[in-house]
Amino acid sequence: MATIELKDIQKTYGKTEAVKHLNLTISEGELFGFLGPNGAGKTTTIKMMTGLLEPTEGTVEICGFDMWKKPMEAKRNIAYLPDQPNLYPKLTGWEFLRFIASVYQVNEDDFLERAEKYLHMFHLTDSAEDLLESYSHGMKQKIALVGALVHDPKVIFLDEPTVGLDPGSARKLKELLRELCDQGTTVFMSTHILEIAENMCDRVGIITNGSLLALGTMEELRAQGGNDKATLEDIFLELTAGEDSAELIRSLESEDVNGK
């Protein structure tokens, strides 16, 4: 069953076409890695998928619900962990988690079970009574992650989830995401860490300049590139190098013109 369905979505900011006619279907239980160079359109795509940004054209469906026609039903099924979570500084960790649980109407027993489990997993139990303003960057990332998990979402969107985490927490997160997917949760994750995508994800999509250039399992991507030994880094650099070279040539050309 498809839990995420993007049909021909497009986003333009003024003259910039940030995302161009993107079609993508992600299945239940899939761990999907979304890659691309800086400015490729990853965050714009995730914001459209999570209902934070309305597509200029096209539709987003989450668990069969159109994000803009049935926003409550669609949003009830998702959690979004941005790369820089914006937390209320004057709440304690527990108060923040309770707030999320109340928004999603999680019952008390489920809330306590999940909150205690994930606070313990990420070594936050002893800090849970402290104000969020006293948390380090990594602790903020982790409490935001616990917040994303307390309502047991069917689909989780994560933007660069391991950035800022210590190696032990990053490993726990990776293991947890795999475990959640094996139990049927869908994870859509953007990352610049190719090793994570290569080793963890069921499928990978590479976006450049607003268009999806490659999509598939590692085996499929290697077959498309005609090199069965290629790493994801090889594939990524090969697909995106053209863009960089084109950019370099354009900038040299304009310098040339301006210089004359």
Ligand X SMILES: Nc1ncnc2c1ncn2[C@@H]1O[C@H](COP(=O)(O)OP(=O)(O)OP(=O)(O)O)[C@@H](O)[C@H]1O
13 contacts ligand X (rule: CB under 6 A):
yes
The answer to whether 165 touches 196, Cβ cutoff 8 Å, is no
Q: How far apart are CB 39 and ligand X at their closest, in Å?
A: 4
Toward ligand X, which CB reaches closer, 46 or 143?
46
Toward ligand X, which CB reaches closer, 34 or 96?
34
16 contacts ligand X (rule: CB under 6 A):
yes
Toward ligand X, which CB reaches closer, 13 or 99?
13
38 contacts ligand X (rule: CB under 6 A):
yes
User: For ligand X, which residue of 39, 58, 164, 225 counts as binding (CB under 6 A)?
Assistant: 39
Toward ligand X, which CB reaches closer, 13 or 88?
13
Residue numbers 42-101 binding ligand X by CB under 6 A: 42-44
C-alpha span between 64 and 159 (Å, rounded):
23
Q: Strand 31-35 vs strand 203-208: parallel, antiparallel, or unpaired?
A: parallel
Toward ligand X, which CB reaches closer, 6 or 40?
40
Give ∠ CA 26-201-211 in degrees, rounded to 5.
55
Q: How far apart are CB 25 and ligand X at their closest, in Å?
A: 21
User: For ligand X, which residue of 6, 9, 40, 60 counts as binding (CB under 6 A)?
Assistant: 40
**Nearest 5°: phi and psi at 106?**
-80, 135
Which residue's structure tokens are 């933007």? 159
18 contacts ligand X (rule: CB under 6 A):
yes
Q: Which stretch binds ligand X (CB under 6 A): 25-33, 37-45, 164-172, 231-239?
A: 37-45
DSSP string, 167-205: HHHHHHHHHHHHHHHHTT-EEEEE-S-HHHHHHH-SEEE
Q: Which stretch binds ligand X (CB under 6 A): 31-39, 67-75, 141-149, 166-174?
A: 31-39
Token pair, residue 37, equals 């160079």
Residue type, 31: L
Q: Nearest to residue 218, comparing CAs of 26, 5, 33, 23?
A: 33
196 contacts ligand X (rule: CB under 6 A):
no
Query: Site size for ligand X, by CB under 6 A?
Result: 11
The answer to whether 92 touches 128, Cβ cutoff 8 Å, is yes
Which residue's structure tokens are 């279907």? 25
Q: How far apart are CB 245 and ligand X at their closest, in Å?
A: 18
Residue 122: how many CA atoms within 13 Å on its side-chain side?
29
Q: Which residues pair with 208 in a beta bridge?
A: 211
User: For ligand X, which residue of 33, 41, 85, 153 counts as binding (CB under 6 A)?
Assistant: 41
Q: Nearest to residue 10, comparing CAs of 25, 29, 23?
A: 23
Toward ligand X, which CB reaches closer, 10 or 125?
10
User: For ligand X, which residue of 33, 36, 147, 161 counts as binding (CB under 6 A)?
Assistant: 36
Which residues of the shown chain bind ligand X in the complex (CB under 6 A)? 13, 16, 18, 36, 38-44
